[in-house]
Amino acid sequence: MKYVYAFDEGRGNMKNLLGGKGANLAEMKKIGLPVPEGFTITTEACNLYYDENEKMNDDVISQIEQSLAALEKKTGKILGGINSPLLVSVRSGAAISMPGMMDTVLNLGMNDITVQTIAKLSNDERFAMDSYRRFIQMFSDVVLGIEKYNFDLIFDDVKEEKGVQEDTALSADDLKNIIERYKQVVFKHMNKPFPQDPKEQLMMAVEAVFSSWNNPRAKIYRQVNEIPDELGTAVNIQEMVFGNRGQSSGTGVAFTRNPSTGEKALFGEFLMNAQGEDVVAGIRTPLPVSSLKEQNETVYNEFIQTVDKLEKHYKDMQDIEFTIEQGKLFFLQTRTGKRTATAAIKVAVDMVEEGLITKEEAILRINPEEIEKLLHPTFDANALKGAKFLAKGLPASPGAASGKVYFYSEDIVKAKERGEKSVLIRMETSPEDIEGMINAEGILTARGGMTSHAAVVARGMGKCCVAGCHDIKVYENEKYFTVGDKKFYEGDEISLDGNTGDIYEGLIPATKVEFSGHFGKLMQWVDELRTMQVRTNADTPQDAKTAVEFGAEGIGLCRTEHMFFEEDRIPIVRRMILARNIDDRRKALNQLLPIQREDFYKMYLEMGDRPMTVRLLDPPLHEFLPHEDKDIQALSDDFGIDCDVLKAHIGELSEHNPMLGHRGCRLGITYPEIYEMQCRAIFEAAIKATKDTKYTIDVEIMIPLVGNKIELDLMRKLAEDTATKVFEENQTTISFKVGTMIEVPRAALTADSIAENADFFSFGTNDLTQMTLGFSRDDAGKFLPIYKEKEIYERDPFQTLDQTGVGALIEIAVTKARKQKQHLKIGICGEHGGDPRSIEFFAKQGFDYISCSPYRVPVARLAAAQANLK
Ligand code: PEP
Ligand code: MG
């Protein structure tokens, strides 16, 4: 088995084996970019390491040794060599990029002897000492597990002793002193000296990278981003080039387009006389990449040309790491750049227009989940005018966030548990802060640039972030920050504007985003390419309006019970429920009729020609009644019913298993007058809307929780009889359809006979999941996390359809139903209608439409188009 590949043996499409970084280094080499030599240890070697109880395999070790020998030959340098020492970097690189999650060691190969040679060869003792002290610090942190602060303290001490501010002001002798003190720290922790054998250093570093695959922050990152644990990481060993060899050297990171806005302009930062981590660590403030021109025009021109070549080669925006060593440019890494949702859309649309990619490729490039982020609010412009401005930082990731400030991840998590919205404030973030970043509304840092950890990670999460706000001083330990002489303590409220970098005191209300032209263009292509209709679940005219703005083509589920809960009608609903005889019930229903009619009328006006499926009453009646003693007492006073009598009546209506109880069409069968009133309200509203407008109102009545054909037959007859009466009274007719939800397993299994009398089917996958899995929709949250952890179900089956189980039932139902009625209209209105993975499944089953909540409509449109392209 081959476990190690030289860079010139690999290719860009070998990501699974070589990791993203390794595959891209190989590809860059192939297209002739200046890349320092090296080799990649495969992800399979990492998996083998775990299979063999975290031991380095002998075969892997010997292949590393062989590749090292080859690298030594190519470079003419020897690892640990006295005359011409080779120094390497050791970097992790998984198939899917996990920025900052795993470990890196630079300058490996340094020891007490090679440092002297490097001093001589470079004619720069300071540079040699600085490289050695960096190596000891990094190796000790990453490989030996000695925390970084132990070294930072010494470094800061020496700086203070010498009275200097900048690291670069320390002399070679100062650095020697630091090195000696670093070595003492290592000895104290390890009880043995810092390892001097470079081969031993190398094997230890490779093993540390393998282990870092399972460090807590990498595990959390994988969980959040749904990256499988079994991928493993590759390790890249690469000859070092030095950005810290004086003022003609430097290092930086760049994006080929702006990752925040998508604008077609090189975007990045660099530092002269610095090594890799200095740029992203946010300790020194880097310069914009455009000013590289002033430092060295030849290098700048070469850089621009190479970057352009890279983007054209990969046909996507690239995120690049580069180093200039004494005026010579090297590319150390390229990868597909992470970007905001706004940027993703602009870049994709621009690239179609530049002729770089096709519309189909553009559509497949956008993650549908990302689209929803665009629909999130920005600050209300008027509220913003009156807001109290505090400070300005860099607009690192767009969006708007308001909340209470906290300084530590654990405090953010606790705040979230208390139901508070919070903002994480840090000097600068590091991967340890990941949980806080996930749970905060927004992130504010005092240090760091647009490519700092905070900025990159927040953009990936689609979370609002203001970085590098030098106007604030953060006292993390004391848990407060200051702006001028004003202090803000834990729990104080602030607001961040990720689009401008502005920070405000207090909470600011936010409003919806206006769509850019690019979004509209992309969605137009999406609509050309999708075949499934996208409807929405909406019960109010406002929701219906929002959904239509987002592109909904109809309402797939109008839950009528939501109309029953409003303050002016709940007393009538309760009278209807508590009526002891049909006359009293009819009296209450007669009062409800005009209210429901008005509701439907407004909905029809909002929807115009678009179809609207109205579902007749579904929940068990006890849900509308009070349960607390004081509320029952109030109702008894209100209705003039004896409290004990009322309690007994509520008792009669209460159920042990209400989700399997007296609900859905069972209500319509036992209290036909309720459904009759609802049908009447629908027909009367539709007739009025037809008269008042030029629309052709499309009426669809949906019967919930059918499990037996006869249930549907009875309810259909009830709807038709009601229609006949209403049409006679109004001397008019309108066309209408009666369909059913398929949400009881028996309905799926007998879908052929149910289809006989149905004009359409809509899968209620919430109930169908509940009943197929036997998991209560309300209580499964208690054990689902453990089920997911143990991988019994990979995902929450209420969010993403369980295709194996529930999906199998759906497949049976669709096949049987279509055999009975070839062109039966089939849709879905459970929560899964807005979930891209599930949408792909519904498309495969030949569904006509999906229906989801208003904010998911664009997500569903995109996912439906992608389903056609996959
Ligand atoms: C369903 O069960 O999937 C459904 C849409 O109905 P409800 O969620 O109202 O039970
Ligand atoms: Mg249901």
Between CA 330 and CA 317 the distance in angstroms is 19
- Per the annotation, the verdict on 852 as an active-site residue is no
Q: Calculate the CA 526 to chain-centre distance.
A: 21
**What mean pLDDT is reported for the chain?**
92
**Top mutation candidate among 535, 741, 775 for ligand 1, by most atoms within 8 Å of CB:** 741
Q: Tell me, what's the pLDDT at 451? A: 62
Instruction: State the pLDDT confidence band at 745, using cuts at 50, 70 and 90.
Output: very high
The finding on whether 557 has its CB within 6 A of some atom of ligand 1 is yes
The yes-or-no verdict on residue 537 having pLDDT over 70 is yes
The finding on whether 636 has its CB within 6 A of some atom of ligand 1 is no
Cα 767 to ligand 1 centroid, rounded to whole Å: 6
Between CA 627 and CA 812 the distance in angstroms is 41
- Per the annotation, the verdict on 662 as an active-site residue is no
**Predicted TM-score (pTM) of this structure:** 0.76
The finding on whether 827 has its CB within 6 A of some atom of ligand 1 is no
The yes-or-no verdict on residue 449 having pLDDT over 80 is no
Q: Tell me, what's the pLDDT at 746? A: 98
What 3-state class would DSSP assign to 187? helix
Least confident of 245-249, 480-484, 574-578: 245-249
Between CA 836 and CA 532 the distance in angstroms is 13
Q: Hey, which residues does 394 pair with through a beta bridge?
A: 467
> How many residues appear in the chain?
870
Counting residues of the chain whose pLDDT is more than 90, the rounded percentage is 76
Longest dimension (CA), the chain: 105
The finding on whether 279 has its CB within 6 A of some atom of ligand 1 is no
Cα 768 to ligand 2 centroid, rounded to whole Å: 8
How many angstroms separate the first and last alpha carbons of the chain?
A: 33
The finding on whether 497 has its CB within 6 A of some atom of ligand 1 is no
DSSP of 36-57: --EEEE-HHHHHHHHHTTS---
Kindly give the pairing relationship between strand 267-272 and strand 250-255.
Answer: antiparallel
How far CA 612 is from CA of 440, 560, 697, in Å, comes to: 38, 12, 9
The yes-or-no verdict on residue 460 having pLDDT over 60 is no
Q: 394-427 pLDDT, tens per residue?
A: 888 778 999 999 999 999 999 999 999 999 999 9
Q: Tell me, what's the pLDDT at 14? A: 96
The yes-or-no verdict on residue 431 having pLDDT over 90 is no
Neighbours of 193 (CB within 10 A): 11
The yes-or-no verdict on residue 459 having pLDDT over 70 is no
Catalytic residue among 46, 453, 464, 852: 453
The finding on whether 863 has its CB within 6 A of some atom of ligand 1 is no
Between CA 93 and CA 233 the distance in angstroms is 6
Is the pLDDT higher at 825 or at 543? 825
Q: Tell me, what's the pLDDT at 204? A: 96
Cα 751 to ligand 1 centroid, rounded to whole Å: 18
The CA dihedral of 110, 113, 117, 120, to the nearest 10 degrees, is 110
Q: List the residue whose alpha carbon is closest to atom 8 of ligand 1.
A: 766
Helix (H) or strand (E) holding 841: helix 836-844
Q: Is 315 left (phi over 0), alpha (psi -120 to 50) or beta?
A: left
Q: List the residue whose alpha carbon is closest to atom 10 of ligand 1.
A: 767
The finding on whether 539 has its CB within 6 A of some atom of ligand 1 is no
Q: List the residue whose alpha carbon is closest to atom 4 of ligand 1.
A: 764
Instruction: Identify which of 221-235, 378-392, 735-749 has the greatest average pLDDT.
Output: 735-749
Q: 132-149 pLDDT, tens per residue?
A: 999 999 999 999 999 989
Which residue type sits at 12?
Answer: G
Q: Tell me, what's the pLDDT at 374? A: 78
How far CA 122 is from CA of 125, 246, 376, 392, 718, in Å, comes to: 8, 11, 54, 43, 93
Is the pLDDT higher at 164 or at 39? 39
Helix (H) or strand (E) holding 390: strand 388-392
Instruction: State the pLDDT confidence band at 267, using cuts at 50, 70 and 90.
Output: very high
Nearest to 845 by CA among 743, 740, 761, 775: 761
Q: 173-226 pLDDT, tens per residue?
A: 999 999 999 999 999 999 999 999 999 999 999 999 999 899 888 888 888 888
The yes-or-no verdict on residue 18 having pLDDT over 60 is yes
Alpha-helix residue ranges (DSSP H) falling in 565-671: 570-578, 582-607, 629-639, 643-653, 665-670
DSSP of 645-702: HHHHHHHHH--SSGGGSS-THHHHHH-HHHHHHHHHHHHHHHHHHHHHSS----EEEE
Q: Hey, which residues does 404 pair with through a beta bridge?
A: 422, 493
Q: Which residues have CB under 8 Å from 164's CB, separation 6+?
A: 170
Helix (H) or strand (E) holding 834: none
DSSP of 257-311: S-TTT--SS-EEEEEES--THHHHHTSSPPEEGGGHHHH-HHHHHHHHHHHHHHH
Q: Tell me, what's the pLDDT at 380? A: 82
Atom of ligand 1 nearest to the CA of 557: 5
Residue 273 backbone phi and psi in degrees, to 5: 50, 55
Tokens representing 773?
């899995």
Neighbours of 504 (CB within 10 A): 21
SS (H, E, C) 63-119: HHHHHHHHHHHHHCCEECCCCCEECEEEEEEECCCCCCCCCEEEEECCCCCHHHHHH
Angle at 340 between CA 337 and CA 344, to 5 degrees: 70
Helices and strands per DSSP (H, E), number in the chain: 36, 33
| Alpha carbons within 13 A on the beta-carbon side of 479 | 14
Q: What are the b/e assignments for 142-178, b being 16+ CB within 10 Å?
A: bbbebeeebbeebbeebbeeeeeeebeebeeebbbbb
Q: Tell me, what's the pLDDT at 448? A: 74
Angle at 760 between CA 772 and CA 714, to 5 degrees: 85
Atom of ligand 1 nearest to the CA of 770: 2
**Structure letter (DSSP) for residue 628:** S
Cα 705 to ligand 2 centroid, rounded to whole Å: 7
Query: Any long-range contacts for 718-727 (C-beta under 8 Å, 24+ apart)?
Result: 718/668, 718/672, 718/675, 718/676, 718/679, 719/675, 719/679, 722/676, 722/679, 722/680, 722/683, 723/679, 723/683, 725/680, 726/680, 726/683, 726/684, 726/687, 727/683
Burial of 466 (0-12, 13-18, 19+ CB in 10 A): buried
Q: Tell me, what's the pLDDT at 279? A: 64
The finding on whether 415 has its CB within 6 A of some atom of ligand 1 is no
Helix (H) or strand (E) holding 484: none
Catalytic residue among 465, 558, 665, 829: 829
